[in-house]
Structure 1
């Protein structure tokens, strides 16, 4: 005779199925089958997002004729907004349901991307070509064209702000952190979520810059729009398999299906009724505890988040100045084929693609045997290792940039910004690889920390707080660029000249490496005093 749980009398605490009924078997809903839908949808969403933003600096300096510094600041500001808005999106998702907000935000996402396609193909919305004699130079865009284009971009940012924290937290909700086996699976979920995201990003980097630079921005924006539409369809396809957070008298999924928000009457008879009541009363108590612990649970994470901001600043450089550096170098594979400079961002994804299986299948089991922790090492240890690697990445970037500038001087190309410097683009690969490996440690570690260490009722907001680190980091990056541009102009040695051969990005990279080193010291100080919350059922802290 089986146990009560095996007989179906004891429900999984705090979750319901798509009809709002208690779940009595772990195989009935949730777990890896449900997570697979969400990971797949996230892969496609990241294809859409990165397909727009990773090469956006080229579009702004080309069709919109912005300066390099202005375009980089605009990209950083837009990225910052898209990563700060999840604070609002996470709060709304925790209040009205992560599933529901994911669906609504995805619809807005598709609309914003469709507007971008229109801005690139509609004659009245795109900057027109005004050069004669076969020239394809564009005229300055009108105010209406600028307003429409940036409205579309910021609509995408708003939609992502609602979708990302809810979708990713909803994916982690498919695993029970209080069950030892599912706790290990949830930790692994964060690794494979990032693996999937970076796999999609790597494909995006290899494909989209070539399409955008050589075929056109209509298709360059159209493919991300189609990808986001498929992402939404895939997410909806998993609706019947998901676990949903139970909230007495207010179940968003049951409401979406037309119910009144309460659990449907079970057909299992009195034992199921009794289990349902226990779930409801237990959920209510959990809600009160979550409210009580919420502010304290959030505040204790703020020092950790604050001491990761420079990591986010470093993270922002890969899609801006790294790309502009690559555009000045020898990009030939064959005499007629040039590697798009933004394509080197694929090495971040390829590094993640290669390292996540090593980390999850080799490093974690070995570390687990020594520490007894489900994730092998603590989340804070994992984050710290990645931060140290980011310092190394910036030092490598500064060293390579110094060599690039010296090569330009040696060959008399300083005042020929359009000439390719006889230095291979592949010199930039090590800094991208170091970025990718550091992401496996720091980014995934932050995701898990800000999901795991907040009350269950606030996990979308926890994810949003993790994302806000990178949003604030982008704002800091943009602010530093503008301030340094003004200050360095007084020295008549502009660090961010449009002619990169006369700029000093190496100075900027060394500055970031020094600031990141100082930040790492502060992080270690706060990490030593951080106390993990206790598991309800005695499972080890990850």
Structure 2
């Protein structure tokens, strides 16, 4: 036994940190081509503005939707290491296909002037290769995003060290996104898409190689099986026993040493899953979990059901954010991007205002606001639901400011007789987009971190590894739902034509602010009646 101890200590620990962080930085940077994807689709493949925005939404939605499935596969049977390796290879293949689309002339439509009648749409082969590359990139990057976080935390033994790791993990993601939105956008628009996509490909390859180089240091955690199976068992068992009368006696329920006396009355139909029949009561044999569950399993499912309304409000909250981010670059393309007489920035770079505002907000909250709150009201510390609620308010404010800025832009375009010109540059600074994006960043600093804390705190213990992935599922749902909003607006109004100078994007933002206001009322009701789980 003593000879095995040094080998055990050699696995895991902070020695794995540089490998995990470098891998995350490389893979996040490789997916950074999404930061300016709308421009690539418009300029190189001649998609209309709204179509390019919707494709980008699908890509971003998939990147945040896939992690929940990757987490289930990793927890159930494959393990984090195998999922990360496979996903990194898939992502690399996707970026290579996009690189070919950007550099091989036969794999994209011929160049033309934007809006010209001579612009050709991509052929089925060109479009198919593009969509395949975007799909592989989305699946691959989504498969590593939260799985890397779980694997990194598994290497450390204390909650304190895991917290430090998560801080650096999030910091790495934001730094990579910052580089993608600034340096890489500049490379794409000034040196060419081929150079930009080559760098993205190399970043993905380096991330994969670095991750494999650290394999001899990693601690490999054996998968324990998916906790979702126990939820399915509860539903099936409760359905099978739907005719059985409920019992008020604690001894009539299957506990299996879970420490819970009796199931709660909330959704009491599910209590039948743990209710022992006469045959199960007297039998000494192990009963199938599809027929008899523990009270703990029943209560775990109830906890998830209680969270669903909060989750729905979070999804609706993110829809205005997704809509605003969808059209931000398109707006910027029609505005003056000169910072000075000799320096100008690409339209996509303006989104760094959101990243910076989010980072500053999180830092101020954690280092200044919340410590001061605790000192002033030691018996009433800030709760995750309060933090999310404040985020709701800032999201509505951001939509209102975005609507006012777009009204101003249309007014300037109208005064200069530019409404009928496709992609006409309005003499109005790109920096006008900074205030709504900064407010949006403040919103994310409140509600995004609040949702992560809420899910990690309120999810059952068996779901801790997938709790953060569920937050990503919320964002993914918002991207998909925002496309439904865009489709509904296009079918019912003339607010979103191909030329936004002839449209009323400001009305879309006013609509989003109205959706946000109604959702805030719904959220306040849900938060008021919600009861935190007592550990």
Q: TM-score range by the shorter chain?
A: 0.7 to 0.9
Tell me the CA shift for residue 464 of structure 1: 2.7
Aligned counterpart, 1:221? 197
Aligned counterpart, 1:440? 445
Distance in 1 between the 2:430 and 2:357 partners? 18
Name the SS of the counterpart of 2:420 in structure 1: coil
Determine which of 5, 19, 23 is the counterpart of 1:41: 23
Determine which of 372, 377, 389 is the counterpart of 2:394: 389
Conserved 8 A contact 1:94-1:457: no
Distance 1:457 1:419, change over 3 A: same
The range that moved more, 304-313 or 236-245, is 236-245
Aligned counterpart, 2:121? 140
Conserved 8 A contact 1:379-1:448: yes
Distance in 2 between the 1:243 and 1:533 partners? 32
Aligned counterpart, 1:411? 416
Distance in 2 between the 1:231 and 1:310 partners? 34
Name the SS of the counterpart of 1:333 in structure 2: coil
Aligned counterpart, 1:207? 183
Distance in 2 between the 1:18 and 1:303 partners? 49
Distance in 2 between the 1:312 and 1:116 partners? 28
Conserved 8 A contact 1:94-1:459: no
Does the alignment pair 1:314 with 2:314? no
Instruction: List per-residue Cα deviations over 1:225-255 (Å, max 9, x = no partner).
Output: 22222333444455566555455799xxxxx
Matched ranges for 1:97-496 at <5 A: 97-129=79-111, 139-173=120-154, 182-183=158-159, 186=162, 190-236=166-212, 239=215, 245=221, 294-335=300-341, 337-369=343-375, 377-488=382-493, 494-496=494-496
Distance 1:247 1:117, change over 3 A: closer
Distance 1:395 1:18, change over 3 A: farther
Aligned counterpart, 2:517? 517
Determine which of 36, 42, 52 is the counterpart of 1:61: 42
Distance in 2 between the 1:387 and 1:407 partners? 31
Tell me the CA shift for residue 91 of structure 1: 1.3
Distance in 2 between the 1:210 and 1:105 partners? 28
Name the SS of the counterpart of 2:73 in structure 1: helix
Distance 1:150 1:333, change over 3 A: same
Tell me the CA shift for residue 125 of structure 1: 2.2
Instruction: List per-residue Cα deviations over 1:364-401 (Å, max 9, x = no partner).
Output: 4334445669x963222222222211111111111111
Name the SS of the counterpart of 2:106 in structure 1: coil
Aligned counterpart, 2:57? 76
Conserved 8 A contact 1:202-1:346: yes
Tell me the CA shift for residue 47 of structure 1: 2.0
Conserved 8 A contact 2:353-2:437: yes
Distance 1:290 1:219, change over 3 A: farther
Conserved 8 A contact 1:202-1:347: no
Aligned counterpart, 1:508? 508
Name the SS of the counterpart of 2:45 in structure 1: coil
Tell me the CA shift for residue 496 of structure 1: 0.9
Tell me the CA shift for residue 506 of structure 1: 0.7
Conserved 8 A contact 1:397-1:431: yes
Tell me the CA shift for residue 505 of structure 1: 0.9
Give the TM-score of the pair, scaled to structure 2: 0.78
Conserved 8 A contact 2:54-2:326: no
Distance 1:111 1:28, change over 3 A: closer
Distance 1:103 1:363, change over 3 A: farther
Conserved 8 A contact 1:61-1:67: yes
Tell me the CA shift for residue 295 of structure 1: 3.0
Tell me the CA shift for residue 183 of structure 1: 4.5
* Structural RMSD (CA): 3.5
Conserved 8 A contact 1:194-1:444: no
Distance 1:527 1:421, change over 3 A: same
Conserved 8 A contact 2:181-2:349: yes
Distance 1:477 1:329, change over 3 A: same
The range that moved more, 503-512 or 36-45, is 36-45
Instruction: List per-residue Cα deviations over 1:288-321 (Å, max 9, x = no partner).
Output: 8986655334323221110011222122135421
In structure 1, runs of 5+ residues without a counterpart are: 1-7, 10-16, 177-181, 251-280, 489-493, 536-542
Instruction: List per-residue Cα deviations over 1:441-471 (Å, max 9, x = no partner).
Output: 2112222333343344433432332111111
Aligned counterpart, 1:267? none
Structure with the larger RCO, 1 or 2 (CA within 8 Å, 6+ apart): 1
Whose helix proportion is higher, 1 or 2?
A: 2
Distance in 2 between the 1:344 and 1:337 partners? 14
Distance in 2 between the 1:142 and 1:329 partners? 31
Aligned residue pair count: 466
Aligned counterpart, 2:244? none
Distance 1:129 1:322, change over 3 A: closer
Conserved 8 A contact 1:93-1:460: no
Distance in 1 between the 2:6 and 2:498 partners? 55
Distance in 1 between the 2:220 and 2:22 partners? 19
